Amino acid sequence: MTERAKVPVSPADIASPTVYLDGIPHEGFAAIRAVDGLVWHPYGDEGDRSGFWAVTRHADVREVSKNPEAFSSAIGHTNLWDLEADALEARRSLIDSDAPDHTRLRRVVSKAFTPRTTRTWEGMARDIAAELVEGYAAEGGGDWVEKVAAPLPIRVILAILGVPAEDAEYMVELTNHLVEGTGEGSSLPEDAYGNTTPTRLLPFNSPASHDLYEYAEKMRRLRMDQSGDDLVTSLLEAEADGERLTAAEYRNFFQLLVFAGNETTRTAMIHGAMAFAEHPDQWARLQADPSLVTPAVDEVIRWASPILHMRRTASCDVELAGTEIAEGDKVVMWYAGANRDPEVFDDPYAFDVGRADNPHYAFGGGGPHFCLGAFLARMEVQVLLEEMLARDVVLELCSSPVRQASNFVHGVSSVELAVA
């Protein structure tokens, strides 16, 4: 292991969940990017391995993302803390797998999220967006999270999965509790939702994961009796290398799709609405030239950086940015830092809907773990903007957002906006 005394220590705290109650600490990320090589960021209480290498520059995030042989997703965990072996296996999903398991699992669902397939869902997503935007405008505004940003993506992903629309609010409730698990811990008692499993074995250490598992099992039984034209049926009938998904693989897939297919897009929609309220000149540009919607979608997503980080673990001794990394070291890619890298983005702290060159890493830095739902997320943000433009909806910020204490999801619990 590299001698910690000989490497620079992070000049800023970017790991404490409470830091994000004031928004992304951009000054801290800038200070870390300015240091030659990588910095070591203390974190946790795991002895000599308490901490991680903070990867905040765009080029370095790309290098880690595209080298899964040296930077593993399957060792330890993909968040900042390690899991014991039994907990890691119990939670194992597409995100925390390496080849060949990752290749096999991704093949099961990849066809469901191609650009061609995504286009078949656009009409459904647009109808939902139109309904929500019309209702919001008629009421003159309100909590954007509750009335628009939360219901839109969850209703879309549930329709894709084949889950009844009336269960959308309940799924939002469960995933909100999962986000809590990325911060200071769950507010729920361990036996909430009838949970009897030790929470260390559950995703996000949350008993809400138990209920998502139970719901996944209910959907499994339903589709075993009567198949449907939906993703749950596809998961149950799919074969990977001649084998069906195991029960654990199926339930972890279901949990991942409900969370990732909802929470991250919701977060982009929240920060996008806030950005347009705070930068009315950019909304005016869109109104004057609707062709800017396409670059605006990616600018919203870059600006939001919904997932703040993802961890890898060095599977061998390796060098990155001139820094020697020892086998077993945690290496954490901070997308929030890479998406403001001045070496890549002109005027990176400006919200610019016409930004032509926008190679953001909100969907990851490329490689085998590039976000499976990237096309779906872009489509949902686009139809939302288009439906707002069609109704001349102009937003104004009424109060400061209530942010979530999470170093993983750039979450906002509520924000009051008005329709001007």
d(CA 4, CA 51): 10
pLDDT exceeds cutoff 80 at 1: no
pLDDT at 46: 61
pLDDT digits (tens, 9 = 90+) for 308-351: 999 999 999 999 999 999 999 999 999 999 999 999 999 999 99
Q: What is the DSSP letter of 147?
A: I
DSSP string of 20-52?
GGGS--HHHHHHHHTSSS-EEE--SS-GGG-SE
Domains along the chain with CATH numbers: 4-419 (1.10.630.10)
User: Please, are residues 383 and 296 in contact by the beta-carbon 8 Å criterion?
Assistant: no
Cis-peptide, bond into residue 100, ω within 30° of zero? yes
Residue 404's pLDDT is: 94
Going by C-alpha positions, the residue among 128, 132, 178 that lies closest to residue 156 is 128
The 10s digit of each residue's pLDDT in 138-180 is 999 999 999 999 999 999 999 999 999 899 999 989 988 888 8
Kindly state the helix (H) or strand (E) to which residue 339 belongs, with its residue range: none
Structural contact between residues 150 and 172, judged by C-beta atoms closer than 8 angstroms? yes
The vertex-261 CA angle with 209 and 399, nearest 5°, equals 90
* Range of lowest pLDDT (45-49, 223-227, 255-259, 320-324): 45-49
Spatial neighbors of 225 by CB under 8 A, at least 6 apart, are: none
Query: For the residues 214-233, what does the mean pLDDT come to?
Result: 92
The DSSP secondary-structure symbol of 307 reads: B
Q: Which of 78-82, 303-307, 336-340 shows the lowest mean pLDDT across its residues?
A: 78-82
pTM: 0.94
